[in-house]
Chain A
Amino acid sequence: MQSREARILVVDDEDIIRIGCQRILQNPGFTIDLAENGRVGWEKIQQKSYDMVLVDLMMPEMGGLEVLEKVQAHDEQIITIIITGFATIETAVDAMRKGAYDYLPKPFSPEELRTKIRRGLEKRWLLLEAEELRRERDRNLLELSNEKSRTMTLINCMSEGLIATNRTGQIVLMNPAAQKLLNLPPENAVGSTVEGLLGNPDLEKLIAGELETAARTATVTSKEFAVAEERFLQSNTAPLHDEKGEVWGTVTVLVDISEDKKLDQLKSDFVSLVSHELKSPVAAIAGYLNLIIDGLTAGNPQKEREIILRSRDKADSLLMLINDLLDMSRAERRGAAKVKELLSLAPILEETIQFYQNEAAAKSLSVRIEGLENLPRVVGNRDDLARLFANLVSNAIKYTPERGEVGVKGRKRDGHIEVAVSDTGIGISKEELHKVFGEFFRARNALAHKISGTGLGLAICRRIVDDHHGQITVESEIDKGSTFRVILPVPSGQ
Chain B
Amino acid sequence: MAEQGKILLVDDDPDFNIINRTILESDGYSVEEARDPESAWEKIRSWKPDLICLDVMMPTGTEGFHFAYKVRRDEATRHIPILMITAIHQHSDFRFSTDDGEYLPVDDFVEKPIKRELLLAKVKALLAATRPALPKPADDKGIGLKK
Contact = CB atoms under 8 A, between A and B. Distances in A.
Contact of A288 (B15, B87, B88, B112): B15
B15 A284 contact: yes
B114 interface: yes
A280 B88 CA distance: 10
Nearest to B114: A287
A283 B22 contact: no
B18 A307 contact: yes
B4 to A, nearest CB: 16
Nearest to B113: A286
Interface in B16-72: 16, 18-19, 22-23, 26, 57
B115 A290 contact: yes
A288 B19 contact: yes
Given A287-B114, A290-B115, A276 B87 contact: yes
B23 A291 contact: yes
A114 interface: no
A291 B22 contact: yes
A215 to B, nearest CB: 42
A284 B13 contact: yes
A152 interface: no
B116 interface: yes
Contact of B87 (A283, A294, A297, A310): A283
B88 A287 contact: no
A279 B16 contact: no
Contacts of B115: 290
A310 B18 CA distance: 10
A314 interface: yes
B108 to A, nearest CB: 19
A301 to B, nearest CB: 14
Nearest to B19: A287
Contacts of B26: 294, 296
B87 A287 contact: no
Nearest to A303: B22
Interface string B104-118: 000000001111100
Nearest to A294: B116
A290 B15 contact: no
Contact of B113 (A287, A296, A303, A307): A287
Contacts of A280: 13, 87
Given A290-B115, A294-B116, A284 B19 contact: yes
B113 A290 contact: yes
Contacts of B18: 288, 307, 310
Interface residues of B, number: 16
A291 B26 CA distance: 10
A287 B16 CA distance: 8
Q: How large is the interface on A (under 10, 10 to 19, 20 to 34, 35 or more residues)?
A: 10 to 19
Nearest to B61: A276
Contacts of A276: 57, 87
Interface in B74-117: 87-88, 112-116
Contact of B116 (A282, A290, A297, A307): A290
A286 B15 CA distance: 11
Contact of A279 (B15, B19, B23, B87): B87
Nearest to A444: B59
B23 A284 contact: no
Central interface residue in A282, A291, A303, by most chain B CB within 10 Å:
A291
B9 to A, nearest CB: 13
A494 B42 CA distance: 65
A276 B87 CA distance: 8
B61 to A, nearest CB: 9
A279 to B, nearest CB: 5
A307 B13 CA distance: 14
B5 to A, nearest CB: 18
A283 B13 CA distance: 11
Contacts of B87: 276, 279-280, 283
Contacts of B57: 276
B109 to A, nearest CB: 15
B15 A314 contact: yes
A279 B112 CA distance: 9
Contacts of B16: 283-284, 287
A321 to B, nearest CB: 15
A436 to B, nearest CB: 17
Interface in A290-308: 290-291, 294, 296-297, 303, 307
A283 B88 contact: yes
Contacts of B19: 284, 287-288, 290-291
A276 B15 CA distance: 15
A384 B87 CA distance: 35
Given A310-B18, A314-B15, A283 B23 contact: no
Contacts of B112: 279, 283, 287
B99 to A, nearest CB: 28
A294 B118 CA distance: 13
A310 B14 CA distance: 10
Interface of A: 276, 279-280, 282-284, 286-288, 290-291, 294, 296-297, 303, 307, 310, 314
17 contacts: A279-B88, A283-B112, A284-B13, A284-B15, A286-B113, A287-B16, A288-B15, A288-B19, A290-B19, A290-B113, A290-B114, A290-B116, A291-B23, A296-B22, A303-B22, A307-B18, A310-B15
Interface of B: 13, 15-16, 18-19, 22-23, 26, 57, 87-88, 112-116
Given A290-B114, A291-B23, A297-B22, 5 more contacts: A282-B113, A283-B88, A284-B113, A287-B112, A310-B15
- Give me the 5 closest cross-chain CB pairs, A-B, nearest first: A286-B113, A284-B15, A287-B19, A283-B112, A283-B113
